[in-house]
């Protein structure tokens, strides 16, 4: 298999984003756009080199978090795309195989497109340019072709009127045989309208050397460049459409696909039913036969086979739900493990807890896990019955088979099979209610004066 290196250009400031954050760190499907490009390149078996701008330590950190072996270079002056590629010389100067140049702001480029480039290079092409046909080509460079080969790429500002009528546009993505890149990169000049060193000029130089320059055409939807908030929204919409289709083709039912939002890494099993207005953040794995009802917000969570979730459930912070767990309306689970068959039907917060199997969590139950400084654990065993409106003050442990009475504040461990009552004794004062009401009315009347 031919060795592959991908140089990802990520030095742009993205001023049109109107953001203090570099544009390549804005997210699509919960993942920075630069990481999407790395992911596609890695899927093709590529080594990764990334060129960043000065002061972009955040970008460097994001890249290395996602791909620890990425080779990072800095472009201290923004003198064009060819100049940016030159900054990665240490990565490509001894590269024995193919070199791809990708752009960090095109998050939807697919592994299939990258594989198609590699196939052409393996088949004898010296360079491969990725083109596309947009609805409106204004502003894009045009591919000039002859007999099925690319002879040049003309930037829009430098194109003649006849060249501007060409519909086949340049995506910016180019694949090279390593020796071809090394032969042309330092010969690229800057005699153009912007005075920049365009990587696109490599095509004309290579063609002049008698090299074979091919092109492939990709769908315009995967080549959206994210350089403003509108394009970011377009990329997000396209990503979601792809992901919804993927999930449904894999065997899940989406009752209203357009209202369900996925993250880049969401994993959904077979025979899962997802109701409208469900949002999946990063880190969610859903097993088979799960039902997720409307208006749930789920991230960093695993959900076991046959669970029933929602409506209006919030899951986060490493929640782990076992098989056949049922969580009803307005239940939040954070950093907690819930065992098979356990139910929390209504209005509960379960944070920093470990709950066993076949346990019932009554309506209004709260694990009081935070004392203002520290977060402590609540341990609840198997076959426990937690009465409604219970406050479980961590750290506390409730043994197997135990009961807690409704309205209790539990501050001490409860042994197995015990009944715990943690509430004040009720006292009835006969005839006292009218006096309280009269006092309240008098207070209200005094305020009105």
pLDDT (tens digit per residue) in 178-215: 999 999 999 999 988 788 999 999 999 999 999 999 99
Range 346-371 average pLDDT: 97
What pLDDT does 356 receive?
98
What pLDDT does 74 receive?
96
Please check the confidence at residue 114 and state whether its pLDDT lies above 90.
Answer: yes
b/e code 219-257 from CB counts within 10 Å (16+ = b): eeebbbbbebeebbebbbebbbebbbeebeeeebebeeb
Q: Which domains does the chain have, with CATH numbers?
A: 4-223 (3.90.550.10), 243-420 (2.160.10.10)
Residues contacting 152, CB < 8 A, separation 6+: 144, 203, 204, 207
- Tell me the HSE value of 400 on the side-chain side, using a 13 A CA sphere: 5
What pLDDT does 14 receive?
80
pLDDT (tens digit per residue) in 278-335: 999 999 999 999 999 999 999 999 999 999 999 999 999 999 999 999 999 999 999 9
pLDDT (tens digit per residue) in 47-105: 999 999 998 999 999 999 999 999 999 999 999 999 999 999 999 998 889 999 999 99
What pLDDT does 426 receive?
82
Q: Cβ distance 282 to 299 under 8 Å?
A: yes
Report the catalytic residues.
346
What pLDDT does 448 receive?
78
pLDDT (tens digit per residue) in 13-57: 888 999 999 999 999 999 999 999 999 999 999 999 999 999 899
Q: How large is the greatest C-alpha to C-alpha distance in the chain, in angstroms? A: 105
Range 372-377 average pLDDT: 91
**Residues written for the chain:** 449
Torsion angles phi and psi, residue 23, rounded to 5: -60, -30
The tokens for 272 are 């899962």
Torsion angles phi and psi, residue 401, rounded to 5: 75, 5
Q: How confident is the model at residue 449 (pLDDT cuts 50, 70, 90)?
A: low
> What is the C-alpha separation between 14 and 17, in angstroms, rounded?
6
Complete edge-to-edge strand list for the sheet that includes strand 267-268: 267-268, 284-286, 301-303, 319-321, 337-338, 353-355, 378-380, 396-398
Burial (CB count <10 Å: 0-12, 13-18, 19+), residue 68: exposed
On average, the pLDDT of the chain sits at 95
What pLDDT does 155 receive?
85
What pLDDT does 1 receive?
64
What's the predicted TM-score (pTM) here?
A: 0.90
> What is the C-alpha separation between 348 and 325, in angstroms, rounded?
14
């Amino acid at each position: 298999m031919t060795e592959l290196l991908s140089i990802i250009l990520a030095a742009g400031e993205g001023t049109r984003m109107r953001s203090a954050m570099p544009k390549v760190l804005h997210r699509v499907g919960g993942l920075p756009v630069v990481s999407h490009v790395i992911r596609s390149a890695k899927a093709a078996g590529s080594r990764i080199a990334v060129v960043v701008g000065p002061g972009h330590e955040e970008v460097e950190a994001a890249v290395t978090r996602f791909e620890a072996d990425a080779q990072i270079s800095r472009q201290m002056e923004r003198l064009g795309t060819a100049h940016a590629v030159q900054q990665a010389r240490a990565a490509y100067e001894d590269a024995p195989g193919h070199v791809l140049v990708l752009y960090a702001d095109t998050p939807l480029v697919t592994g299939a497109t990258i594989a198609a480039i590699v196939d052409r290079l393996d088949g004898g092409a010296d360079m491969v340019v990725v083109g596309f046909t947009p609805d409106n080509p204004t502003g894009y460079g045009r591919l000039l072709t002859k007999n099925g080969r690319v002879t040049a790429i003309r930037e829009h500002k430098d194109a003649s009127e006849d060249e501007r009528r060409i519909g086949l546009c340049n995506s910016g993505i180019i694949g090279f045989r390593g020796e071809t890149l090394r032969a042309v990169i330092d010969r690229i000049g800057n005699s153009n309208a912007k005075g920049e060193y365009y990587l696109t000029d490599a095509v004309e130089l290579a063609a002049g050397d008698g090299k074979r320059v091919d092109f492939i055409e990709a769908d315009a939807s995967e080549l959206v460049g994210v350089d403003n908030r509108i394009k970011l929204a377009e990329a997000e919409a396209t990503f979601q459409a792809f992901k919804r289709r993927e999930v449904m083709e894999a065997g899940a039912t989406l009752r209203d696909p357009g209202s369900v939002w996925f993250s880049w890494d969401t994993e959904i099993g077979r025979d899962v039913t997802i109701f409208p207005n469900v949002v999946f953040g990063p880190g969610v794995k859903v097993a088979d036969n799960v039902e997720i009802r409307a208006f749930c917000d789920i991230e960093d969570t695993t959900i076991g086979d046959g669970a029933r979730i929602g409506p209006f459930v919030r899951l986060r912070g490493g929640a782990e739900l076992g098989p056949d767990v049922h969580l009803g309306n307005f239940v939040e689970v954070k950093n907690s493990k819930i065992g098979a068959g356990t139910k929390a039907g209504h209005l509960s917060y379960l944070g920093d807890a470990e709950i066993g199997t076949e346990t019932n969590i009554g309506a209004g139950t709260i694990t009081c896990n935070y004392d203002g400084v520290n977060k402590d654990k609540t341990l609840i065993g198997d076959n426990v019955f937690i009465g409604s409106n219970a406050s479980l003050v961590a750290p506390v442990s409730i043994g197997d088979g135990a009961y807690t009475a409704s309205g209790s504040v539990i501050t001490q461990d409860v042994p197995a099979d015990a009944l715990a009552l943690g509430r004040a004794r009720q006292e009835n004062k006969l005839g006292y209610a009218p006096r309280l009401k009269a006092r309240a009315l008098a207070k209200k009347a005094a305020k009105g004066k």
